[in-house]
Structure 1
């Protein structure tokens, strides 16, 4: 025989109850011997409890009760539930009149949900010609008198069940009420949370069933709740021991009581989906499954109690006093964590028991308060418990570090004696994010990285397209899921939780909204987005003011914008302090040298203790192209400049390149990487624009380009033979002091030198160190272009995913 159990969602009106009937009918037709255990339909139990709470306050409950009755028979007009409805009427009327109710009365009220559901299923099956028998477990399962969470008396219950099934067996399908029973006085009791599953497992045990099939609204047990973690995946097999751990720590489709009767008889349990007949669900047996983390379970409706007191140091028996006081009030503790020498103890209890627990402890430690040995007993509400089932403590640092990186700070954690399960208490408003962070870390599923990209011009737009094009390949190779949830410009932002697609340009114009940076942060928080990175591809000084706010709110930073690193030294240090405090990273490799690995190289050399004595080179790809071609060709300076403009190597107003400020900023960035305290005002810049051409708008300047020819033709002719012109940045002086010397200037260098051999729009950097002497480390390559810069930013993003 197989025991089938159907949950409330499976029995809801419409597709639910029809699917249940179809499953039972198919099994009967295929010749299977089955017994069916039924829960209350839909949310009936919750609704009855709500009506009870209204009635006890002497408020009008009749409208809610009428709605409850209507739902039960709305699709089944011929169903006669007069007896059950009259019972409810009498019970609610009595509660309303007295203004109080006992747990005994509550059990009588709640039991009607199961009775109604079982009678309805029995009636429908009979109408289909199936020999169905309504079976009221109040006549079979005998319990103690603990109303609300009664414990079965096995010997009596088994005798009743076996006797009943000897009478109703063979082709008869018993439709059994779950959750309910009766005590030795024939008073109605209930079996507590998940009681219908418990009923099913008891029957399986008493009847030596071949299998218990528990039908729910999901395809089995998952690595996490699929409603909270979209990447959760189904677990094919579990052992009873693992299932018991999952049940204890809150997995919704299991309960610890359900597992124990099955373990005693080694009866397999299969979790199946009422609405998906093709799924084979999750099979739970006595056989051990593969080692490793199985699932993330969640306990909600809990509270954290903290008992603090320096005077408890060295005192013996504090724990015993706590548990004794709570046990006297019938309060169960699920998780406990103790500070060194008993100066602080935190433990988790049910949310509805928190105030009573606090009162019990205040009474127990009243004298200790008076002596000031206990300083505080507090309740931390709005918390949840996440348990990582199968987590080895030796690798717990990985999910823990990931949580800290995402600014989720556990309030308490502990592990089991075996060291294979770890539980964390987190704030309820961080539960969703915490689950996703841990799940992505421990299951090796693609870790989701949520990107907010600001600025979508040449570099930003190219970057977005590069990410969208490469995303699937990166997910496959690196197990990293890059999700662009925000694209913003100076006016609008496009916000998409599941990420923008290739039509983002059209979408931002049609769907984008005006915004502040707080709107983006709020969107990320409301949607529980983890592993946040903000990417600045603007050239805006105003936008850099958002960096500190972003870092404080959990964003790592990547920037092709050089401004933030060249503002005042005070801002520079403040930003780094905020990053350190919030354990955030800031990468900006493209600030100097576009996609070349320059900043990383300098950081590594400096960190290793290498004394860098000088850095010089061609910092600007635009000016590299300009002077490389002007030096090598017999062409007018204005012609080569016009060509650079047309090729997109310069800014729309080329004076932004020619003034030298861009090279000056890059040089200052490198100086600060060496911990020099230079400001931008310290940079000596050779402005390439004659004074008479510096005023006016860009169009006026472009009309007068030929006026540059006479100036630069003379400079070119005045060079030594075999020399070429290069516009360089040069950081030198005693770099062990507080400040270095920063020069940006046009120089003439031998054509055969490293600087002289640069071609096209390449950049080149010479790094001189104490160890290498006169032989510099040379880094050379493409120094300009949107694609190169975007690829460099992309590289920074990927580096951050590895750091996480």
Structure 2
């Protein structure tokens, strides 16, 4: 199957990324490999660890002193990968490589049991992708695809913030030109998402959403004309179908809209993924490796239709901080001091609203692993000297994504009339033409999404 962007000719170079569920076992890997076989433009493939493997490796990296439990996890790792190996026609070369990597995991896990640390965690966790790429490359070869495995750490240069390393795009481009580009002429290159290395050659990981992000960085570095993200759902929907079963698939969406959706909680795409694609205007396709025939969603700079309302996104585990002080009334410098304190404690702010004597803000949750972010005690103490600090959790952020919303008469009225029975907090509207967002209580979130979707999209 060769994906064709309707707005351009068939792209000469495609970078494809497959997530953990798309390479979960032999059957899933074979489906994904078939997609590549039938897409002659795909020259670079980045894959995640097999589904569930990263969680096992993280548990080992946290340090397990009990030998029996450690052995149990190591055995499970072996079962997952040998389950694929036993289905291969020629398993000898792959078995040897997998054994070496599993032995390495065992050694590192023993070290972590004595003294876990973030650097060791990155070394351990990287083995998931290193293992899966050996298996996937062999499956491609057995399908008749000329494929070669490539260690992404040779080009994915990052800084040394283990666990959430920041990629260096210029270094990546230079290294990719020298080491990766020459391999693309006659074969498919299979490599790893999520992992990289610093200038000292130490293994790093890119943090949450790192696999999609690294695929976009590679696409940028090799001047790809399409980036494909293959997952377990056929593209983006008007909202999460698990909340609103009548949610509709979105065939195409602009970079601006997709960025807003990703930022406000659409789990199918991490916000960082689109940054390299936007820089180089690379169209992004999202599809299901389980059902590629269903098509998916194209994300482009410009689209044929830009409706007033495009989709609803939901992001829970929100923390709202309200800072109140009479000194803020008709004063200058108050907000500057607030943000100086937040910056000093490396606190990233997401949304913000102000009144004459108070300011409310939500905390960015990029690196919380999905839980509600917290305000560090030292930051609270510093803010207490300036104002009263109230922290509230148990909230969800609802975002309505669309186009020209702030300049279209009546667009907000339709939303607020629908939700007149709910208490809406921190309404943010007008800063962007692409979204209207607000906080609601967690217990109301699903009902709010359902009612809004029914009145706007159904």
Q: TM-score, normalised by structure 2?
A: 0.86
CA contact (8 A) 1:390 1:421 kept: yes
- C-alpha displacement of 1:362: 2.1
1:96 aligns with 2:119: no
Q: For 1:430 and 1:56, how far apart are their aligned partners in 2?
A: 43
- C-alpha displacement of 1:252: 1.7
- After superposition, what is the alpha-carbon deviation per residue over 1:739-769, rounded to whole angstroms, capped at 9, x for unaligned? xxxxxxxxxxxxxxxxxxxxxxxxxxxxxxx
- C-alpha displacement of 1:193: 2.0
One of 34, 37, 51 as aligned partner of 1:42: 51
The answer for the alignment partner of 1:284 in structure 2 is 299
The answer for the alignment partner of 1:363 in structure 2 is 381
- C-alpha displacement of 1:186: 0.6
Change (3 A) 1:56 1:146: farther
Q: For 1:280 and 1:298, how far apart are their aligned partners in 2?
A: 24
CA contact (8 A) 1:358 1:379 kept: no
The answer for the alignment partner of 1:68 in structure 2 is 77
One of 133, 143, 161 as aligned partner of 2:148: 133
Change (3 A) 1:88 1:128: same
The answer for the alignment partner of 2:171 in structure 1 is 156
The answer for the alignment partner of 2:31 in structure 1 is 19
Unaligned runs of 5+ in 2: 1-12
Change (3 A) 1:419 1:166: closer
The answer for the alignment partner of 1:543 in structure 2 is none
CA contact (8 A) 1:325 1:360 kept: no
1:428 aligns with 2:442: yes
**Structure 1 SS opposite 2:144:** coil
Change (3 A) 1:355 1:292: closer
5 Å matches for 1:265-280? 265-280=280-295
CA contact (8 A) 1:216 1:274 kept: yes
The answer for the alignment partner of 1:477 in structure 2 is none
- After superposition, what is the alpha-carbon deviation per residue over 1:56-103, rounded to whole angstroms, capped at 9, x for unaligned? 8999443233223322322323442122222222222222212x422x
Change (3 A) 1:320 1:63: farther
**Structure 2 SS opposite 1:174:** strand
5 Å matches for 1:75-94? 75-77=84-86, 78=91, 79-80=94-95, 81-94=98-111
Q: TM-score, normalised by structure 1?
A: 0.50
Q: For 2:351 and 2:81, how far apart are their aligned partners in 1?
A: 40
Q: For 1:431 and 1:106, how far apart are their aligned partners in 2?
A: 36
Change (3 A) 1:310 1:177: same
- After superposition, what is the alpha-carbon deviation per residue over 1:676-715, rounded to whole angstroms, capped at 9, x for unaligned? xxxxxxxxxxxxxxxxxxxxxxxxxxxxxxxxxxxxxxxx
- C-alpha displacement of 1:201: 1.3
The answer for the alignment partner of 1:733 in structure 2 is none
Unaligned runs of 5+ in 1: 446-804
The answer for the alignment partner of 1:55 in structure 2 is 64
The answer for the alignment partner of 1:410 in structure 2 is 424
Change (3 A) 1:161 1:355: closer
Q: How many residues align?
A: 430
Change (3 A) 1:354 1:429: closer
Q: For 2:68 and 2:353, how far apart are their aligned partners in 1?
A: 43
1:112 aligns with 2:130: no
1:343 aligns with 2:358: yes
CA contact (8 A) 2:401 2:434 kept: yes
One of 19, 32, 36 as aligned partner of 2:41: 32
CA contact (8 A) 1:354 1:379 kept: no
5 Å matches for 1:470-619? none
Q: For 1:415 and 1:242, how far apart are their aligned partners in 2?
A: 15
Mean Cα displacement is larger for which, 265-274 or 84-93? 84-93
Q: For 2:85 and 2:252, how far apart are their aligned partners in 1?
A: 39
Q: For 1:398 and 1:316, how far apart are their aligned partners in 2?
A: 37
**Structure 2 SS opposite 1:278:** helix
Q: For 1:43 and 1:440, how far apart are their aligned partners in 2?
A: 35
1:325 aligns with 2:341: yes
The answer for the alignment partner of 1:653 in structure 2 is none
- C-alpha displacement of 1:337: 2.3
Q: For 2:420 and 2:85, how far apart are their aligned partners in 1?
A: 54
Change (3 A) 1:230 1:307: same
- C-alpha displacement of 1:334: 1.4
**Structure 2 SS opposite 1:168:** helix
- After superposition, what is the alpha-carbon deviation per residue over 1:403-456, rounded to whole angstroms, capped at 9, x for unaligned? 333xx423332125134311222233332222111211222x0xxxxxxxxxxx
Change (3 A) 1:302 1:69: farther
- After superposition, what is the alpha-carbon deviation per residue over 1:614-642, rounded to whole angstroms, capped at 9, x for unaligned? xxxxxxxxxxxxxxxxxxxxxxxxxxxxx
Tell me which structure has the larger Cα radius of gyration. 1
Mean Cα displacement is larger for which, 235-244 or 315-324? 315-324
1:377 aligns with 2:390: yes
- C-alpha displacement of 1:14: 5.1
Higher RCO, 1 or 2 (CA under 8 Å, sep at least 6)?
2
Structure 1 stretches of at least 4 aligned residues deviating more than 6 Å after TM superposition: 56-59, 352-355
Q: For 2:168 and 2:396, how far apart are their aligned partners in 1?
A: 34
5 Å matches for 1:116-195? 116-195=131-210
One of 393, 398, 407 as aligned partner of 1:386: 398
- C-alpha displacement of 1:174: 0.3
Change (3 A) 1:188 1:438: same
CA contact (8 A) 2:327 2:357 kept: no
Q: For 1:344 and 1:167, how far apart are their aligned partners in 2?
A: 54
- After superposition, what is the alpha-carbon deviation per residue over 1:352-373, rounded to whole angstroms, capped at 9, x for unaligned? 79675242332213434xxxx5
- After superposition, what is the alpha-carbon deviation per residue over 1:245-285, rounded to whole angstroms, capped at 9, x for unaligned? 22222222222322122222222111111111222211111
1:307 aligns with 2:320: no
Q: For 2:327 and 2:279, how far apart are their aligned partners in 1?
A: 47
1:6 aligns with 2:23: no
- C-alpha displacement of 1:119: 1.4
Q: For 1:336 and 1:429, how far apart are their aligned partners in 2?
A: 23
Q: For 2:180 and 2:363, how far apart are their aligned partners in 1?
A: 43
Change (3 A) 1:168 1:14: closer
Change (3 A) 1:213 1:305: same
Change (3 A) 1:226 1:14: farther
- C-alpha displacement of 1:54: 5.7
The answer for the alignment partner of 2:4 in structure 1 is none
